[in-house]
Homo-oligomer: A and B are copies of this chain.
Amino acid sequence: MRADATRNRLAVVRAAREVFAEQGLEAPLEEIARRADVGIATLYRRFPSRESLIAAALLEKIREYAAAARRALAASDPWDGFACLVRAICELQARDRGLGELLSMTLPASDEVERLRAEAQVDVAELVSRAQAAGRLRPDFVAEDLLLMLVANAAVARITRSDAPDAWQRFVGLILDAFQYTGGDSLPAAPSAAQMTRVRARLAADRGCGAVPLTGNASGYVETDLRIGSPG
């Protein structure tokens, strides 16, 4: 009985990983149950909410993201470290549609996802401040720029996936050039942290993820993306 439950849970998580990667986080749960060869009632018993299934399915990917941030810290050149992080995240996004979406939205997540995210956030903040201190990353770069880039890269990767699967690499090359400091003009103002929190909460809500608050601050909700530094 217990073994059966474990087997079912694993099958659902494996199927969810595949389906979210292919179709994104709003994929029908019925499709996941079908591929896992379990009834929809069994799926709901193991995962009472879409969020809990997303957290379980994407845990490994979030680990890869946290590991990429840690690896980037090891680069001796501060700009190389930052660029290496950006490329790694964008590649993870390009390979997995679900992760692409997850990185740009808020989600009430599991403790483990939250721990990994917090860990990565510290590393990303360090990479940013090192690259800025070295004069290589533009001084007006803020966390929200990385988030805009993630939203954009997710769209480029999704839309070109079948017909021009390497196009995202060109796009990331352009974006890295934009982030690099060359003494150029100042930019229009960045969106505020509070605005981008609402953007991400709305993305989660649009994908059927729980009662995400769409007004005020999203306190109580874990931010699974790349917010750097002070809370919004």
Residues of B close to A164: CB separation below 8 A? 191-192, 195-196, 198-199
A148 near B170 with CB under 8 A, answer yes
A60 at the interface (CB under 8 A from B): no
A146 to chain B, nearest CB (A): 11
CA distance A144 to B173 in the complex (A): 14
Known: A199-B159, A202-B162. A180 touches B184 (CB 8 A): yes
Known: A171-B148, A178-B178. A166 touches B184 (CB 8 A): no
Q: State the number of copies, please.
A: 2
A152 at the interface (CB under 8 A from B): yes
The residue in A104, A167, A185, A199 that gathers the most chain B C-beta atoms within 10 A of its C-beta is A167
A4 at the interface (CB under 8 A from B): no
Residues of B close to A167: CB separation below 8 A? 144, 148, 190-191, 195-196, 199
A192 to chain B, nearest CB (A): 7
A52 at the interface (CB under 8 A from B): no
A3 at the interface (CB under 8 A from B): no
Residues of B close to A144: CB separation below 8 A? 167, 170
B195 near A169 with CB under 8 A, answer no
> Which single member of B152, B160, B199 contacts A191 (CB below 8 Å)?
B160
Residues of B close to A188: CB separation below 8 A? 166, 169-170, 172-173
A28 to chain B, nearest CB (A): 17
A1 at the interface (CB under 8 A from B): no
The residue in A145, A148, A189 that gathers the most chain B C-beta atoms within 10 A of its C-beta is A148
Residues of B close to A172: CB separation below 8 A? 188
A177 at the interface (CB under 8 A from B): yes
A198 near B163 with CB under 8 A, answer yes
Nearest-neighbor residue (CB-CB) of A167 within chain B:
B191
B174 near A191 with CB under 8 A, answer no
Residues of B close to A154: CB separation below 8 A? 155
> Which single member of B173, B189, B202 contacts A187 (CB below 8 Å)?
B173
CA distance A149 to B178 in the complex (A): 13
